Amino acid sequence: MRRMGRTPPHPEVSQFDLQQVLEALVDPVRRSIVTQLDDAAEDLACGTFDIPVSKSTATHHFKVLREAGLIRQYYVGTSRMNALRRADMDKAFPGLLDALTTPQAKGAR
């Protein structure tokens, strides 16, 4: 039995790629995850998000967000916690997350 990756790989800020970040943010489900994290201002377990997809699809979305550098993931018991890497994103692409977490942007559909 191989061990499950206990701590999945996270990119450094210097490795952030704009194309990859935009591809992550263009999906409505993933953008919803980001805004829910932003609203909560607190780390959230995968299962606590309000998203209209199956668990396996959710796992996929969290992976895309993590690999783009948008969230940091760590285990607490069987729960996988998710933290928004806002400071890191701001360093790499200033203003981008701000523009998408504006009430205006959130309200827009």
Partner DNA sequence: ATCAAAGTTTGACAGCCATCGTACTTCTGC
Partner DNA sequence: GCAGAAGTACGATGGCTGTCAAACTTTGAT
Residue 19 or 56 with smaller CB distance to a copy of itself: 19
Residue with smaller CB distance to a copy of itself, 76 or 108: 108
Pick one of 7, 19, 56, 78: the residue that binds a copy of itself (CB under 8 A).
Answer: 19
Considering only residues 32 through 71, tell me which ones interact with DNA, judged by CB under 7 A.
Answer: 45-47, 52-64
Strand partners, 74: 81
Interface with DNA includes 109 (CB under 7 A)? no
Non-local CB neighbours of 33 within 8 Å, separated by 6+ positions: 49, 51, 61, 62, 65, 71, 82
Give the residue among 50, 57, 54, 68 at the shortest CA–CA distance from 8: 68
Question: In whole angstroms, how close is the CB of 16 to DNA at the nearest point?
Answer: 17
SS3 44: strand
Closest CA to 4 of 73, 67, 61: 73
Size of the site for DNA (CB under 7 A): 31
18 is an interface residue for a copy of itself by CB under 8 A = yes
Taking the C-alpha atoms of residue 49 and residue 69, their distance in angstroms, rounded to an integer, is 19
State which residue, 41 or 108, has the beta carbon closest to a copy of itself: 108
Cβ 73 to DNA shortest distance, Å? 7
